[in-house]
Chains A and B, each alone.
Chain A
Amino acid sequence: EDKVVQSPLSLVVHEGDTVTLNCSYEVTNFRSLLWYKQEKKAPTFLFMLTSSGIEKKSGRLSSILDKKELFSILNITATQTGDSAIYLCAVGYAGNTPLVFGKGTRLSVIA
């Protein structure tokens, strides 16, 4: 059973739309949740979340963590074609265990 579940797996929107990507996770020994953007190369870091209810923001992107309901959302407002990418969610657990990645959400923004 997957420990980190992202939804939807793919999404097509028009430029200017707002999108919400979801990531749910298992709780045991949770330490952090990370969001990455990947465009045909190595993932680039977006956010790391450790505390519940505190929104992190970078331009049109924002993210928040709910440790009670065990999920995070990544919002992108006023989408642009350059936002087209795979968005990866990963969870870090206590100890030296590696990050656990979800399957990713493939976002396509069309003009």
Chain B
Amino acid sequence: DGGITQSPKYLFRKEGQNVTLSCEQNLNHDAMYWYRQDPGQGLRLIYYSQIVNDFQKGDIAEGYSVSREKKESFPLTVTSAQKNPTAFYLCASTPQGRTDTQYFGPGTRLTVL
């Protein structure tokens, strides 16, 4: 089955620790995205990548980092510089040139204690 997987589903971390969220897709999509969602809010773009070894900052990149070493994988690191990291994180992917055909992963809910 083709799709996007995110792990873990729930993640708890202590304040000041870096944490990496996994996102893997087997849809052969070129572009991948990370969004943050706070309670009752819409999606805000953190980072996106349109091709391997390249990525761009979204609207709220501060305190986050990404890598795109493989087409299938786009991990997101939430660093200690992120002031308020508790949120729901969604990963998505799209075929090249079709940014409106978004496939979403199930999400990771990060809670920083």
Residues 1 to 56 of chain B near chain A (Cβ within 8 Å): 31, 33, 35, 40-45, 48, 50
**Residue in A42, A88, A98, A106 whose CB lies within 8 Å of B58:** A98
Docked Cα-Cα span, A85 to B44, in Å, equals: 18
Q: Which residue of A lies closest to B51 (CB)?
A: A96
C-alpha gap A7/B28 in the complex (Å): 36
Q: Is B99 an interface residue (CB 8 A)?
A: yes
Does B40 lie within 8 Å of A96, measured CB to CB? no
**Which one of B45, B100, B104 contacts A43 once the chains associate, using CB atoms below 8 Å?**
B104
The tally of residues in A whose CB lies under 8 Å from a CB in B reads: 23
A96 and B100 in contact (CB under 8 A), knowing A101-B44, A106-B40? Answer: no
Give the Cβ gap from A9 to chain B, nearest Cβ, in Å. 8
Asked if B90 CB lies within 8 Å of chain A CBs, one says yes
Known: A42-B90, A101-B44. A96 touches B99 (CB 8 A): yes
A88 x B100 contact (CB < 8 A): no
- Would you call A32 and B40 a contact (CB within 8 A)? no
Interface contact A103-B41, CB-CB below 8 Å: yes
State A92–B94 Cα separation when bound (angstroms).
12
Within 8 Å CB of A99, what residues of B?
Answer: 99-100, 102
Whether A104 touches B41, Cβ cut-off 8 Å, given contacts A41-B106, A42-B90, A42-B106, is yes
Of listed A31, A43, A97, residue having the most chain B CB within 10 A? A43
- A residues with a Cβ closer than 8 A to B are 6, 10, 31-32, 34, 41-43, 45, 48, 86, 88, 90, 92, 96-99, 101-104, 106
List, sorted by A's number, 11 A–B pairs whose CB atoms are closer than 8 Å: A6-B42, A31-B100, A42-B105, A88-B42, A96-B50, A96-B99, A98-B58, A98-B99, A101-B44, A102-B42, A106-B40
